Structure 1
Amino acid sequence: MTGVVIGPGLNPLRDPRDKRLPRIAGPCSMVMFGITGDLARKKLMPAIYDLANRGLLPPGFALVGFARRDWDHEDFAEVVHESVRQYARTPYREDVWRQLCEGLRFVQGTFDDDAAFDDLAQTLLALDAERGTGGNHAFYLSIPPGSFGQVCQQLQRSGLAAPQGDAWRRVVIEKPFGHDLESARALNDIVESVFAPDSVFRIDHYLGKETVQNLLAMRFANQMYEPIWNGNYVDHVQITMAEDIGISGRAGYYDGIGAARDVIQNHLLQLLALTAMEEPVAFDAVHLRAEKEKVLSCVRLAGDVTEATARGQYAAGWQGGDKVMGYLQEHGVDPGSTTETYAALKLAVENRRWAGVPFYLRTGKRLAKRVTEIAVVFKKAPHLPFSATDTEELGKNAIVIRVQPDEGVTIRFGSKVPGPSMEVRDVTMDFGYGRAFTESSPEAYERLILDVLLGDPPLFPRHEEVELSWQILDPVTQAWAREKHSPQAYESGLWGPQSSDDMLARDGRHWRMP
């Protein structure tokens, strides 16, 4: 690194010209609201430990919890310690824990408690002096959306939202970003009245997964895919997020929200945008967002609601050898609920690249297996110089990007069966992250939290993307509400309602069986 000049504000542990070196956060702290919730316990606190264990947090990093619990700093440290020992991805190291523990603080209070936020301000001021956090603070709102406005206003009132000098303040928001377009706009107005747009980080943890990012690398770092990534060669695209669990005691949140708002509006439409977008000028926030917004602005439902959508609700059945109850029998669910636990849409991307190519999106709970994947299915070859018997079972070529649980890419193509006759059969060529790379993939929240602390926003949707997504989904949910019909029941452990299969069958297609 001879001759490298480290300018003001640059991290001296990292040569800015060398992208291979680890990105290490500078002096900072993070305040977590909702610290007592499952997300914080199972994902956020372990992710922070894993970042520290990998040497990606500064030695003086501080973590502040804010909640109503009657805890002191030591009680909070014990909660974090238990979470780390149980859920951290990397091995436990006592020296790493001790260093992290020295920066743990807890502030007791409620969101309407002015004194508690004043106490939080004094705690952060003390950490600036004790830990050298430099006035750089991120506020993670792992709380219900209805409380976003109150917390943001308290941060503004107490002076915590406004940085001094060269310091920064950022806010992290967990989904859902509203429940429709109108509420999303209202929420954005509240948050951005307190924090600058570039300081607002909307978390979609799917965008932090290695395979999702590898989709961009596969498309734009290789010559072989992009020439055929269009309607001349692609027959259709299927994007699936299937869960084998029920609502897991989340009736208070889930009932009335449903699968479409919970998953399609954010996760699946983001995956569609990354699959269908044009090549960005650069892999940075401005250009990535511009291309995703272009795609989302031309997405429409491909037909009327009756033929281009399906919705279902899981009934009792068998899952993994165990008898499971139906949705209406779950604790806390209204027995007359019409909330869907399965939703499928047929969408069209109305631009030149994707004209005539349907995008089928589906998500559901209590399905046959847990899997998230993007399947790009190609048209059959226009001419096959083989007899019908040679290729009777030959299907369509496909590229399948597996997001979870077995991250990787599978390519399906026809190949000759060994032997004296010309028999062609479908085979797969498989790439798996676990087999190809010696290092394990970080959890999505590790990547996203580090990006927040670095101020690196490419993987975070801005409010324009959120609003465009609601513009796509709102007509569907409004039509479902007008129908006032219960979603079609499907047996737990299967692949969803018959109406979903019928939606593809009308086009002469069928869902992939992952």
Structure 2
Amino acid sequence: MSKEKIALFTIFGGTGDLAQRKLYPSLFKLYQKGYLREHFAVIGTARRPWTDEHYHEVIATSLASLNADPAAVTQFASHFYYQSHDVTDAQHYVTLKKLSAKLDAQYGLQGNRIFYLAMAPNFFGTIAQHLRSEQILTTNGFNRVIIEKPFGHDFASAKELNDQLTATFNENQIYRIDHYLGKEMIQNISAIRFGNSIWEALWNNRYISNVQVTLSEKLGVEERAVYYDNSGALRDMVQNHIMQIISLLTMDQPVEFTEHDIDVEKVKALRSLRTLKPEEVPANFVRGQYAATDQVKDYRSEDKISPDSNTDTFVAGKLMVDNYRWSGVPFYIRTGKRLADKFTRIDIVFKRPIVNIFNHEDVQKNDDENSRLNANVLTINVEPTEGFELRMNAKHVGQGFATTPVKLNFALDSQSVSDSPEAYERLLHDVLNGDATNFTHWDEVAYSWKFVDTIQKYWDEHTPTFPNYQPGSMGPTAADDLLQRDGHEWIYKS
């Protein structure tokens, strides 16, 4: 049975950075693996007056780092067509419809159409409306639309955007892409939990002390300054990536591993998040903005950033999940720019044994932290290392029965990492298969925004003291205090 997928891709924003860095290389990898062969075509649209020939040159350049066979690149690029397009001009959609019909017949695409909106969200509704009004959607194949974040700026704008999209597409035709859901180790969360009885039996408040999620970035805002200054770390990272990770960590086991059943459990988990009252925000969430060093500028001195900007470049928070499984277990999150290093990790911290029977002298000093056994910690390393690490206690080599922490490690080898699909490749393949399991559904977006909006509103009404952390650190000291008040500490320290 052939694994080839049949579809016409129309990429709005086909000249942009996302298309060149992520989409074209990912489509080419699908082509190399045989998922795309003869029966596919791509229309790239944007305002620039490019020719098909120039478009092919751009595509070849975007694939240069893959060291691919030039003949294969040429053959792949021959499936791409360019249309100069103003998304607000209805007449341009008439031209797009004619080209789509021509390519459908030429490549035998069976009316299957995928629309990738790689543009600013304020154009999503306009494009969707014209796709419907100019009858570019087909009736003899599938129609699917992929949209990038940010999906709204708050709950109200997200709902308005969703209403615009659902006027043209059904919810099961909308693929809200979150590239974190395409990462190998994020997808491994479900395998770890539901594929191993040892962990699922312990995955609750009887055995887990706290959970820590860290998404750390070493660089500053770089070329994203304009977008970032209107967003900040809370909207840019917490509302989407982190909330998705939290939902995967906290959801109950689905009836089946299907898109619908997983979505049901993720939504239940997000509904269980304790919504903060405004006066509770300072005790549960910390914001920061990086200062300057001899090597780097402070945030307010970055190009295109307002000198009095109060945008957060760091967020740490404490989330509580009010259900039977997780009641009383804090979930600590943190993310930020200009931190100690670039990595993403999840630390599951288990409760310590109540009694240390191995060092009777120290047990007498029950006020001495050193008399306690180390907590077991399961770490899921998402990037750049991909794998698992389990910290446990073992006997120290030598006389006596003093204990020492040891680590059991598993990391994907370089060949496995190389063979593993990159996030966008994996997610585009899912769209071709009509599988939205690893995409964000509207109810998840809605509950995430409602949770975040309370925090953002409080911050908007209170002026912070910025800058408040040094580049190369792991954020403001208040982020450490957040855990210390509960008797905990961050597992990863710079």
Q: What is the DSSP-based 3-state SS (H/G/I as helix, E as strand, rest coil) of the residue aligned with 1:372?
A: strand
Q: Aligned pair 1:325/2:297, yes or no?
A: yes
Q: 1:445 aligns to what?
A: 424
Q: Aligned pair 1:42/2:21, yes or no?
A: yes
Q: Aligned pair 1:135/2:114, yes or no?
A: no
Residues of 2 paired with 1:220 and 1:492: CA distance? 39
**In angstroms, what is the RMSD of aligned CA positions?**
1.7
Q: 2:338 aligns to what?
A: 366
| Among candidates 220, 227, 232, match of residue 246 of structure 1 | 220
Contact 2:347–2:378, Cα closer than 8 Å, also in 1: yes
Change (3 A) 1:143 1:405: same
Q: 1:312 aligns to what?
A: 288
| Among candidates 206, 215, 232, match of residue 258 of structure 1 | 232
- How many residue pairs get matched? 484
Residues of 2 paired with 1:139 and 1:25: CA distance? 19
Residues of 2 paired with 1:37 and 1:431: CA distance? 38
Residues of 2 paired with 1:427 and 1:301: CA distance? 38
| Among candidates 362, 384, 399, match of residue 405 of structure 1 | 384
Q: 2:348 aligns to what?
A: 376
Q: 2:399 aligns to what?
A: 420
Change (3 A) 1:35 1:435: closer
- After superposition, give the CA deviation of every residue in 1:161-196 in whole Å (9 maximum; x if it has no partner): x3222x011100001110111111111100011111
Instruction: Identify the range of structure 1 (102-111 vs 387-396) with the bigger mean alpha-carbon deviation.
Output: 387-396
Contact 1:348–1:359, Cα closer than 8 Å, also in 2: yes
| Among candidates 448, 459, 469, match of residue 469 of structure 1 | 448
Residues of 2 paired with 1:44 and 1:33: CA distance? 12
Q: Between Structure 1 and Structure 2, which shows a larger proportion of helix residues?
A: 2
1:98 CA displacement: 3.0
- After superposition, give the CA deviation of every residue in 1:483-511 in whole Å (9 maximum; x if it has no partner): 13344521111110111111111112112
Contact 1:59–1:99, Cα closer than 8 Å, also in 2: no
Q: Aligned pair 1:237/2:237, yes or no?
A: no
**Gapped runs of 5+ residues in structure 2?**
364-369
The percent identity for this pair of structures is 38
Contact 1:302–1:358, Cα closer than 8 Å, also in 2: no
- Equivalences for 1:40-119 in 2 at 5 Å? 40-86=19-65, 88=66, 91-119=67-95
Contact 1:395–1:426, Cα closer than 8 Å, also in 2: yes
Residues of 1 paired with 2:71 and 2:191: CA distance? 37
Q: 2:139 aligns to what?
A: 164
Q: What is the DSSP-based 3-state SS (H/G/I as helix, E as strand, rest coil) of the residue aligned with 1:425?
A: strand
Q: What is the DSSP-based 3-state SS (H/G/I as helix, E as strand, rest coil) of the residue aligned with 1:245?
A: coil
- For 2:296, the aligned partner's letter is V
Instruction: Identify the range of structure 1 (141-150 vs 265-274) with the bigger mean alpha-carbon deviation.
Output: 141-150
Residues of 1 paired with 2:414 and 2:374: CA distance? 27
Q: What is the DSSP-based 3-state SS (H/G/I as helix, E as strand, rest coil) of the residue aligned with 2:260?
A: helix
Contact 2:356–2:372, Cα closer than 8 Å, also in 1: no
Q: What is the DSSP-based 3-state SS (H/G/I as helix, E as strand, rest coil) of the residue aligned with 1:274?
A: helix
**Gapped runs of 5+ residues in structure 1?**
1-11, 14-23
Q: 2:178 aligns to what?
A: 204
1:236 CA displacement: 0.3
Change (3 A) 1:48 1:436: closer
Instruction: Identify the range of structure 1 (387-396 vs 46-55) with the bigger mean alpha-carbon deviation.
Output: 387-396
Residues of 1 paired with 2:350 and 2:291: CA distance? 35
- After superposition, give the CA deviation of every residue in 1:207-252 in whole Å (9 maximum; x if it has no partner): 0111111110111111110111000000000011010010012121
Contact 2:7–2:40, Cα closer than 8 Å, also in 1: yes
- Equivalences for 1:167-178 in 2 at 5 Å? 167-178=141-152
1:116 CA displacement: 2.0
Residues of 2 paired with 1:25 and 1:347: CA distance? 44
